A and B are shown apart, each in its own frame.
Chain A
Amino acid sequence: MTDWDRYGHISAAMGVSRQSPRAVLILASLADAPRHGYAIRKDILDRTGGEVRLGSTTLYRLLRELLDDGSIEEMTARPVPELDDERRRYYRITPPGRRALSAELRRLERLLAAARPSLAARTR
């Protein structure tokens, strides 16, 4: 078993799948600040330079997934009362969600670090 498998295994166990970069993006977005659905999507669109535009059902499916495994939670208190929109639900990252995010990011960094030389070798 390689390190990658092991890391993948751990992060999967923590609720973030390697196959779901979009979940990582949601966690990253919520790691900055609690947001509602529209804001999450807007933030991701901004972070990725307009590249990742989540479909509405997909967004809520991802939120459902992260809620169910405890990485994020719905907020009962509204963060900024004057900006509040009655219809909107706010989400924030939980401590396990934060740990899962950093583990996933570390894994991706190691993946990058490992993959980069061969990419360089080929372009040379």
Chain B
Amino acid sequence: MAARSLLQQATAATLRMLLRLYPASFRRRFADAALDMAMDDVAAAAREGRVAALRAAATAAADALAGIIPEHLAAHRAARHRQRPILEDVVREDLRYALRQLRRAPAFTCAAVLLVGLGTGANTAVFSLVRSVLLRPLPYHDPDRVAMLWKDGAGRPGGHARHGVFTGAHVREMRGSLPAADDLAALESWQGGLAPLMDFVGPDGAERLRGVFATPNFFRVLGVEAALGRGFVDSDSEANPVVVLSDAFWRRRFGADPAIIGRTVTLAAGSGNRRGQRAYTIAGVLPPEFKYTYPEETEVWTVLPWSTISPERALRYQVVARLKRGATLSELSAQSTEADRTIIRTYGMPPASAELALGRALVTAETATEHVLADARSGVWLIAAVAALVLLIACVNLALLLLARTVDRRRELAVRASVGAAPRRLLRQLAVEGMVIAALGSAAGLAMAWLTLPLLRAFVPAAVPRGVDASIDGQVLAFSLLLCAVTGIVCGVIPGLQALRIDLQAPLRAGATISADRGVTRTRRIIVALQAGVVVLLLVASGLLLHSFWRMQRIDLGFQAEGVVTMEMRLLNVKYRSAAGREAFQSEILASVRALPAVIDAGLTTAVPMRGVDFLRQIERPGGVRAMGHERVVDPGYFRVMNIPLNAGRLFTDQDTAASERVAILSESHARRLFGDENPIGQQVIGSRPATVVGIVGDLRYADVTKEPAAAYYVPAAQQPSELVCLVARTRPGVTGVAAAIRRAIQDVDPEQPVEKLTTIEQIVAGATADQRFYTAATSVFSVVALLLAVSGVFSVASRSVTERTREIAIRMALGADARRLARLVLAHGFRPVAIGIAAGLVASFAFSRLLSKFLFEVRPADPAAFGGAALLVAIMALAGCYWPARRATRTDPIAALKAE
């Protein structure tokens, strides 16, 4: 008995172990039963003897063992079988069903796709701009470690970038004393002075190029390799000069000839007596994406040997450093400031400002990225924020549309639910439909973005660096996919949630009418209020910008230059080294330009408003009072052509010559600062030379439209002929080809003299406000789109509510309600959420409009015109949106309406 029970125990243990190897689903259901049955068999066999018992135990064990693998296979097959139909359902059935549903409602589908398309299209286009301008790393190795140094008072930050900010002494001192920098390069740029403006001398005349002299380690500091040939090497010297070309120049001038490396070109560079033609060997061509100067790229790079950087006092060089790994910009700033102090002590140079005494940092470091993008960043983000709000409005509008459709489809959903469709299944169906709309809409949006990008690129101002490179790349596509997912969730989930909330049985009951329940109505009204609020926010923003832009356009610049053509000449040729040579050239071109039939009058100056150079000089009275002012060398015609008013004394005349008494004209504010209430006429002032003040003219807004007019000091060109000559010519209106005629006239005087920057003063002034114009235009366009979307939303909600309340309206009318009171009721009902939205929008605008203050000129962020205008516009448009439904309500025929029920 003991042996038998031992056998039974062993059998039970074995079977239990074997059964444990079965799939869980089988084990749970049958393991106990199978074990019991097997043990009963063994117990029964035991009565026939030990052998029989052993055989029964072995059979049971073998039986259990044999089933393990087949049972797992069966379980696996079953699992696969259970999953497959679900996937197939979604992919095939639901998709097919969704497409059929959307085809059946073409108006809904088109509206929904258009909404998604507008929202995602605007955002995709704007994102391509954001990506191109802000997110793309600068084309250097590890660009965050490329730092630019600025001497306080001489250049950024805070002010405009100046291009010559350090003396040679600074460069030499800093090169050895900045432990925070791996390496440091200096450069002299065409943006800062005349010397790097190089003349490329070819068989067909001279072309002036934007050039830079850079120390041999410059490209190493940036971490840039030449695409063809090489960059600079330390052994490059003045004895055997080399030039590196920009990709654009290489393509334009040499047709992208790969065999260009090693060939020689003749370039004229340098200033004054040092300017001369030399042969340069082409060492390399830079990669196409390389860019260092903005907005216009440098065309030729030549070597600035360290040995030629002398410790002179002129602020001539820019400095760029590669930050040591782990070092910070503030360390670099501190070390550079220390170097600056050493220079001041050693050379006795006066500090750039009195700030040295205050112990403030005199040299500031910023990353190259910051330097290039800082000015454009807030504007681009403004547009991105505005576009995001448009997407928000499009999405909530879409939600309205989907809500309406879900309500319309309740009967269909109810029927499907009553024939056994699980709620989960219905939700999945709605979600798939939403995804299809989102996908179609996003595709439309991508197409829209692709179509509008050329437009965007054409309008993007030069002040937004790299904006013209905006394109649809992988990241933009990924962003568009993300938007698709977001809208897909909106389109898919909202109808689903709504379908869960509405009573699916209601439509099947007798006498049910098409109406939305209270939840749907409330959701709709919230959406309308939200839309109105967001639109007010957008309209306030664009109103502020428009008001500011309008102010800018109406500002008195102090000159009137409609129809004035201008061009610039740099008299760098050897024959213009003498003052007499320059004088002769200037009188000759003036005479020949004035003789042109299309030209009314012409003049000369050294400074054109809002562009290029405007020399700053200290002027003093022989008594002691000093003041800084812009020194402009002009001829008598300049004041006439620019319509600058004479306030006192006289203008220059042709009698003011090199031989006559030195004279000067002061601008009003300059005269006030130097002479106070005294009469300046006839008094002496000392600029570069002593002169007698003969006249006072008005102040000009010369640097920027938004900057206060600056003091100016004018000297006659005949007494101080400059090598920088800007021609201004007033032309007859409606005559074309004037610019070309003037250019020809100048070329007739000197065919070798390059003429640059030919344009009109109006264009320059428009260009100076181009970034404001761009931000204002983009914001306004988006706001108008948002307004139209919101109004269509208000209209559709009001219109639906009238349809849904037909019965109520009909009963009221049958009971003798006044049609006008009914109309008022509908209007009030539709307008109430709008009013709430407007109020909320105004509050939000008040909170946020301060963020715009850096874009505003002479307009307060809480500008009543912008706020009132936005509120009024939204109110009027919303009332118009409610008007037609209200009118329709009053025309309800009560008998017909109640019969139809």
Which A residues have a C-beta under 8 Å from some C-beta of B?
A: 37-38, 41, 55-61, 63-65, 68, 87, 89
Contact = CB atoms under 8 A, between A and B. Distances in A.
Given A56-B38, A57-B64, A89-B33, 19 more contacts: A38-B40, A41-B37, A55-B63, A56-B41, A57-B19, A57-B34, A58-B63, A58-B66, A59-B34, A60-B26, A60-B30, A60-B33, A60-B37, A61-B67, A63-B30, A64-B26, A64-B74, A65-B74, A68-B78
Q: Which of A41, A57, A61, A65 has the largest number of chain B CB atoms within 10 A? A: A57
Interface string B507-524: 000000000000000000
A60 B71 CA distance: 11
Interface size class of B (residues with CB under 8 A): 20 to 34
A56 B70 contact: no
A65 B71 CA distance: 9
Contacts of A68: 78
Contacts of B71: 61, 64
B38 A57 contact: yes
Contact of B37 (A38, A61, A64, A65): A38
B473 interface: no
B80 interface: no
- With most chain B CB atoms within 10 A of its CB, the pick from A58, A59, A60 is A60
A37 B63 CA distance: 16
A73 to B, nearest CB: 13
Contacts of B67: 57-58, 61
B59 interface: yes
A55 B38 CA distance: 8
Contacts of A55: 38, 59-60, 62-64
Given A63-B30, A64-B26, A64-B30, A56 B60 contact: yes
B37 to A, nearest CB: 4
Contacts of B41: 56
A68 B37 CA distance: 21
26 contacts: A38-B37, A38-B40, A55-B59, A55-B60, A55-B62, A55-B64, A56-B33, A56-B34, A56-B37, A56-B41, A56-B64, A57-B19, A57-B34, A57-B63, A57-B64, A57-B67, A58-B63, A58-B67, A59-B34, A61-B67, A63-B30, A64-B30, A64-B71, A65-B74, A68-B78, A89-B33
A44 to B, nearest CB: 13
B29 interface: yes
Contacts of A61: 26, 30, 67, 70-71
B36 interface: yes
Nearest to B37: A56
Contacts of B36: 87
A63 B30 CA distance: 9
Interface string B13-55: 0000001000000100110011111101100000000000000
B327 to A, nearest CB: 70
Contacts of B19: 57
A38 to B, nearest CB: 7
A56 B74 contact: no
Most buried by B among A41, A59, A87: A59
A96 B629 CA distance: 104
A59 B29 CA distance: 13
A71 to B, nearest CB: 15
A61 B22 CA distance: 10
A117 B60 CA distance: 40
A80 to B, nearest CB: 19
A38 B33 CA distance: 10
Interface in B562-595: none
A58 B41 CA distance: 14
Contacts of A41: 37
A59 B74 contact: no
Contacts of A63: 30
Contacts of B64: 55-57
A22 B325 CA distance: 78
A41 B38 CA distance: 12
A37 to B, nearest CB: 6
